[in-house]
Amino acid sequence: MNRAAIVTGLLAAAGARLAYAALSYRPPGGRSAWTRTNHRGETVTLLEGPAVAAAAVVAALIAQPGAVRPGGGDPGGAGDPGSGHGPAGLGGRQRAALAVAGAGAAAFGCYDDLSGSSDRRGFRGHLGALASGELTSGAVKIGGIGATGAAASMLLGAAPAAGAAAAADLIINAGLVAGGANLLNLFDLRPGRAIKVAIATGLPLAAVPGPAGQAAAAPLGAAIALLPEDLAERAMLGDAGANALGAMLGAAAAATLPRPARLAVLAGIAGLTAASEFVSFTKVIERTALLRRLDLLGRRPAVAPPAAAARSAGPRRAAAQPRRGAAQPPPVRSAAAAPR
């Protein structure tokens, strides 16, 4: 990771903390609009998502432009990913594509966060509802993020090619942005999980020489800065944050990887997305020892079932019982037990 990538990541991290503090102080539309119940039945805020998205987008826009490599290339364009030509850092159109991907995915994700319901889930659920004449917020989000991917792909342009190859580049890049946005959101079901997946997929991208590190640094820096809030179950990414992170990582791959690598990544995204319609990622993680340990890393301990808690507390309770014949205080009736 070069100096420009480190600076971009630090800017994104600082921006995420500032944005989260500002949004938490005065939530748009009131605090209750952003409050949800998590898997423990506790309340958390969705404000983490807009804070991460806003910081990552701004950091991408103000990222330091790279110098032009020997061999030419337009310093404001995407160059030819993986060719060794074009900009050594992020060009203007690459930064714009990252910002469009993050802002568009965050906007449609936020709409689903605030207006959606859990009655319909997944592509099958939303598209099935659409086929029967019902327009769900999820269907609006699917269409919106698809359009966002297309817009980001158009900004990136195609590698120097003609005809079918250029069209293929545009389709692949749009799929990476839209598919990445959807896939990362599928992991936002437990504290810290989506951010851990983003780190696991973004760090290898950041290690690629050239502009890839800087492209991945903006979403990674913002996400890592608010990971403690997510793990402590004070906040969650929601659709706004998870969609934005996935879209920006997809755009980073689209902007920097050669076509064979982009095809491989897109195939992986498509395969996992298809599998999610039939397989629960949470169940797979819980059944796989290594994945379960990584998933629980940094999280609060799980709450023991009441029966298990009673068994584990049995000896201590027995030791705490007064001796036979000792004076005992009179029973105290709770307010709940008193007659109304």
Least confident of 78-87, 224-233, 264-273: 78-87
Query: What's the average model confidence in pLDDT over 253-282?
Result: 93
Give the end-to-end CA distance of the chain in Å, rounded to a whole number: 67
- Which has the higher per-residue pLDDT, 82 or 165? 165
Q: Can you give the pLDDT at residue 118?
A: 58
Q: Can you give the pLDDT at residue 24?
A: 95
Average pLDDT over the chain, rounded to whole?
82
Q: What percent of the chain has pLDDT over 70?
A: 74
Query: If pLDDT is split at 50, 70 and 90, which confidence band does 37 have?
Result: confident
Query: What's the average model confidence in pLDDT over 171-195?
Result: 95
- Which has the higher per-residue pLDDT, 84 or 192? 192
Nearest CA among 240, 200, 215, 176 for reference residue 36: 240
pTM: 0.81
Structure tokens at 318: 């027995």
C-beta contacts of 303-307 below 8 A and 24+ residues apart: 303/40
Judge whether residue 239 has pLDDT over 90.
yes
